[in-house]
Amino acid sequence: MNKIFEFPNLIINPKYLLVFIIASFIGCTNEEDSYNLKDLELEFGVKSSVSRIDDNSIFFENVEYGEKSRNKLDIHIPDLVSPKGLLIFFHGGAFIGGDKSDIFEEYLSSIFLKIIKKGIIIVSANYSFLDSESSKGVLTSLEDGENVISFLEQNRKLLNLKDKDVVLSGVSAGAGISLWNGFKDNKFDRISGILAIEAQSSYNVYTWEKVFNGFNIDEMRKLYSELDEIYLNFYKGEPDGKLLEKLDYSSKMDKMDPPFYISNRAGKDIINTNNEIDFDVLYHSFLHADYLRKKAIEVNLKFSGIYQESPDNFVLRMLGVK
């Protein structure tokens, strides 16, 4: 049935009916822990609609968290008076591609549906690419991730968020953004966990020489011009020691950091049978995950992975949700 509902002076299309009902419920309640839809729309600068992850959730698309062109995020708010936590997701794409809409891909959407059904707000954010205007290389992307967290921290009261209720998450490049922000100087003490899928062990690529047996980044750059080009674009030139230290999130890890979940599927042979670099292995080898796990053991930091639990169960456990 694809009809409209007719009233004396009102016509409502079915696809907007759910938004109308949710808005009525949320906007009319006077409880302290309730959402005020008008306040949310005013603060975020966009109108609400229905989430594509969950039909019972409210969706704010392309909320600006900064001044750069890709400083936009999407917010999915469950139909609850008071949420049980916040999950921030950063997409993958080697810092040259990808989009916050990747969250709607079948594998990811199935995970996030389980999470939002438990009353957890989900935010999916874009960030600057390496070729973005005024990019300082990967550091710009990482700092955009920091700005996402700061923006949501500033709006935590509006979102009815409580203490220690944020999990950072991402795939590949997005996992790196989450790890870098989760491990750095404990600036955001409300972060309770980090979900990292297909992560790199550090963005100081010289530490990868400890990850891969016989790997020497400068020698590989001489042999493979493509790798040299990627390297120079990644750092916007030859990096100095200060920058490399700043980008090495594995060295920032300590026992006071939030627990993390790590899962990498790729093998360990960087050079394939055609004598070419297998970038999937270089970026996503299980050896990267092993390196981070060993670091965690050294500093007595808790970690988990696919052999212990599913990604959604990790998120729920970190937020204390059953």
Region 185-201: mean pLDDT is: 88
Give the integer Cα–Cα distance in Å for 274 and 127.
Answer: 34
Of the two residues 36 and 90, the one the predictor is more confident about is: 90
- The secondary structure of residue 9, as a DSSP letter, is T
Among candidate residues 312, 265, 273, 308, the one with its CA nearest the CA of residue 289: 265
Q: What are the sequence ranges of the domains in the chain?
A: 46-318
The one-letter amino acid at 184: K
Report the DSSP pairing between strands 85-90 and 166-171: parallel
147 membership: H or E segment, kind and range: helix 138-154
Above 50 in pLDDT, residue 31? no
**pLDDT band at 185, cuts 50/70/90?**
confident
Of the two residues 16 and 285, the one the predictor is more confident about is: 285
Look up residue 155 and give its two tokens.
């709006």
The CATH architecture that domain 46-318 belongs to is: 3-Layer(aba) Sandwich (3.40)
Report the DSSP pairing between strands 72-77 and 85-90: unpaired
Q: Which CA distances in Å does 66 have to 125, 151, 246, 315? A: 11, 9, 22, 27
Above 90 in pLDDT, residue 79? no
The predicted-structure confidence for 134-172, as pLDDT tens digits, reads as follows: 899 999 999 999 999 999 999 988 898 877 689 999 999
Across 108-147, the runs of DSSP E, i.e. the strands, are 120-125
Above 60 in pLDDT, residue 18? no
**pLDDT band at 102, cuts 50/70/90?**
very high
